[in-house]
Amino acid sequence: MTRTNEVGETRAGAAVPNADTHESDTQPVYPHTMRLQRFLARAGVASRRGSEDLMTAGRVTVNGQVATELGTKVDVDRDHIEVDGMPVKLNQGAVYLMLYKPTGYLTTMSDPQERPCVADLVPRDRFPGLFPVGRLDRDTTGLLLFTTDGDLSQDLLHPSKHVYKTYQALVDGDLTDRDLKPLRRGIELDDGLCQPAICLVITAREAEAVAPQGVKPGTTAVEVIIREGRKNQVKRMLSKIHHPVIRLHRCNFAGLELKDVAKGSWRELTDREVQILKAGGIPPKQASSKRGNPNATAANPATRTRHHGSHGSAPKRNTYRERYTG
């Protein structure tokens, strides 16, 4: 391990001229070295910025010594690098997981008050540097992605990407399709005008995640598809039309459906699912289209994507550090 202010890398096996013969020496003179944060990013532990956060937090060791200096360089072939006590090698690829988040868990990798958090539900010891893509409220259930690919996470969360997110909500009161028109037009909240949402009333069968015992009188189940990520956005949108949320569940993110995973469990994404994410996601299937609702065309995602530019810029996202630490 070396510390330097130089920029760049030196690769093992690099030949240098022989002073006497001017021919290349076949033996490596310089080891294959690179900055530690770049090594961690290439190994799929986190983004470059996220790797720096891991270092400054004292979670990275090189040959048994904590490495907090951002100028630290490592010999890829000789140095032993660990994150949270787990060895890291360059041949490790990025990791992509899907968690079925249950209620009662904070979307954070640690909590100073030792409350239950999603870090308790994913294999962070097996995959150092794992972090959630975005967040779900403590009382919200459903699909939460985790990855060590910081660049992909930032792409999916960037306001300009407008990634689809599908929620099911059980709300108070008898809500009709007509009541949802303000959401479809784009409702005004205290932090600005929302982009038009795709939303409709759904049946008890479709709303099993939020109404496992059926939709009781005086409540209504709705599906809401948004392409923003403001804090408590769906809850605030429905409260604005006087139907506060009783339960909220995310069933789709970027076109990935919550399936083949039990509540409180996780699974790795398939290659196809990772490809979908890297392509920026795809429009999700609506409950209405699945049951042949004649109003489905009014909420067709293809007809909604043109509206976002006319309502000004999207709200600022949390920084990577805020997303990472909760």
The domain that holds 62 is classified in CATH as 3.10.290.10
pLDDT at 91: 57
pLDDT at 2: 54
Bridge partners, residue 60, by sequence: 83
Residue 125 sits in which domain range?
A: 97-325
Domain stops at, among 32, 56, 87: 87
- Are residues 47 and 184 located together in one domain of the fold? no
pLDDT at 14: 37
- Are residues 194 and 123 located together in one domain of the fold? yes
Q: Which two tokens stand for residue 276?
A: 């979908």
CA–CA distance, 282 with 215 (Å, rounded to integer): 30
pLDDT at 300: 43
pLDDT at 24: 39
- Are residues 10 and 108 located together in one domain of the fold? no
CA dihedral 233, 234, 236, 242 (to 10 degrees): 160
* Domain-embedded: residue 235: yes
DSSP letter for 109, please.
S
* Domain-embedded: residue 253: yes
Fill in the amino acid letter for 24.
S
- Are residues 200 and 305 located together in one domain of the fold? yes
Report the CATH number at residue 171: 3.30.2350.10
| DSSP labels, 177-197 | TGGGHHHHH--EETTEEPPPP
Catalytic residue numbers, as ranges:
137
CA–CA distance, 135 with 157 (Å, rounded to integer): 10
* Domain-embedded: residue 92: no
pLDDT at 1: 62
- Are residues 289 and 145 located together in one domain of the fold? yes
Domain stops at, among 32, 54, 87: 87
Q: Which residues of the chain have pLDDT under 70?
A: 1-31, 91-92, 286-326
Domain stops at, among 52, 87, 122: 87
* Domain-embedded: residue 211: yes
pLDDT at 129: 79
pLDDT at 79: 92
Task: Please give the model's pTM, rounded to 2 decimal places.
Answer: 0.68
